[in-house]
Amino acid sequence: MSITIQYDQKLGEMLPEISKIRTVLKGAYAVKKTEQTLLPSPNQVDKSSAQATAQYDKYLAGAEFDDYTKQTLQSMLGKLNLDDFMPELDSSVDYLVNDADGDGLSLKGLVESLASNALAVKWHVAAVDFRGLQSVALESASLEDAERENPRAVIKQYPRESVVMYNFATINGVKQLSFIMFLEVGVKFDPESFIQTQVKSYLVLALDENGDYYQQKYVYGDKDELQADGDRNYVTVNGEPLKFIPIEFASDCEIESDLPEEMGFLSPIADLCLHRYNVSADYKEALRKFVPTTDVFGMNEQDVEAFAKINGRGYRAIGQTNIWPSENVRIDTTSTDGSLDSFEKYDEASKQKIRSLGGVIPEYSQGDTSATEAMINATEQNAVLNPLVSGIENAVKNLIAYCAMFEGQVSQEEVSQYAGSINFDMPREFAKIQPNTEAGRFILEMVNNRVMTREQAVKGLIKLGWHEGDMEDILYDIENIEPDITPV
């Protein structure tokens, strides 16, 4: 029986947004490759003629894209300081440190992947597989292949856009994920014909009517029809059916009964970078109009027929020479009056907004940015990094515990307790904001010169990171500091 599968409505609606931020993170080349998808043509009437195509090519070439989104991501991943992170695992699962997914990805690499995906699109999926259908070739649904190829429990990742549908339900007395379907896409290479063929299949992880965990694959058959290939593959632990899906969602928020629709921390920064990209194209277009335009009059009617051939176009071009029919031969050269101040103001304002969102703009050094702006930037980043690190820690501890369960180290009833005992505490040095010394001295000088009150000074010092707590309490403590009467 042929099967038709469609994305859940909420998941499908977000696919363009996910694709957009993925493209932005790939950089300028990938963004420009989308052409009018991310940079619409300024000519809304004619988009297909040779003239319109040439005009758009010039418009596209002039557009500048800033990689602030990718630079912000790299900065935030650097703050996690994973190079100094060394988890300690039991001997039954310590193989995960160097090979977490069965394909050579280290546990640190897994953590970085979870973090980067969550920062981009809000949540990322990881599931544990043990001799299951998650580890075989995309076009295969053979359990024998799985048992031969995957002798150990491994952690497999699934990006947000691969989730086709899902469901949470109360099963086995607990509100939990009861069904999730992934779209798996890969490439199959034929070494004889040198042809690469895209391979698509669907993988289901679910709990049945009895609350037992199973896997099932849907693959394309000989007639290119999607069909369930094989029976349900039930997963057992110590001969007993597993009563939950060994899966975790990495995010900067708790996920209990539904998946968030919103995008990740980097999404508004990506949007601003795309706005700047579009405005830069208009800016370059406006700059070209400031080039003087020369009009040559004096052609006869017969010459008009040759206008398109002579000029290479059928319209008056700004910043170029145009030949027109006229009784009197004359040459006019004109320049466009105007100002580009609005573009330049937008450029600076948009950069400031990106920094206020926690974005990183490399050409702005610490000296170029006010202390307050630097604090806002660090605060915005920490506001998402703190819950993200906590979410990743919990997710990875559970994933490691699921691996230990499949390896026979712990029963499924004791998985949560085992996860809590795992030594997997990620660094949190990023949360420490270094106060700006020069800015602090300036505030004290303002107080000494009587142009700022002590209350205003304390507020400023709190923003700069010199004090923690309520302003009134800090002022009270300062007032009650006993004077130093030690003799000199």
Q: Give the DSSP letter string of 151-201.
A: -S-EEEEE-GGGEEEEEEEEETTEEEEEEEEEEEEEEEEETTTTEEEEEEE
Listed residue (200, 182, 222) closest to 139, CA to CA = 200
Which is more confident, 306 or 163? 163
Query: Are residues 456 and 471 in contact, defined by beta-carbon separation less than 8 angstroms?
Result: no
Token pair, residue 478, equals 């300062």
Rounded-to-integer distance, Cα 326 and Cα 424, Å:
83
Q: Distance between CA atoms of 233 and 142, rounded to whole angstroms?
A: 10
Low-confidence winner among 160-169, 230-239, 298-307 (lowest mean pLDDT): 298-307
Instruction: Return the domain boundaries, the chain.
Output: 1-27+65-175+231-289+339-429, 291-337, 435-479
pLDDT tens, position by position, 272-294: 999 999 999 998 888 777 666 66
Closest C-alpha among 93, 127, 178 to residue 399: 127
Range with the lowest mean pLDDT among 324-333, 407-416, 461-470? 324-333
Identify the weakest region by mean pLDDT among 55-59, 172-176, 457-461, 468-472.
468-472
Mean per-residue pLDDT of the chain: 82
pTM for this structure? 0.77
Dist. CA 163–CA 181, nearest whole Å:
6
DSSP 8-class letter at 222: T
Predicted local distance difference test score (pLDDT) of residue 154:
95
Token digits for 462?
A: 């709190």
Rounded-to-integer distance, Cα 304 and Cα 297, Å: 11
Work out the average pLDDT over 2-19: 91
Q: Summarize pLDDT for 40-75 with one digit per residue, the tens.
A: 998 888 878 888 898 899 999 999 999 999 999 999
Q: What are the backbone dihedrals phi and psi of residue 215, each rounded to the nearest 5 degrees, phi first?
A: -120, 150
pLDDT band at 446 (very low <50, low <70, confident <90, very high): confident
383: its two tokens = 């506001």
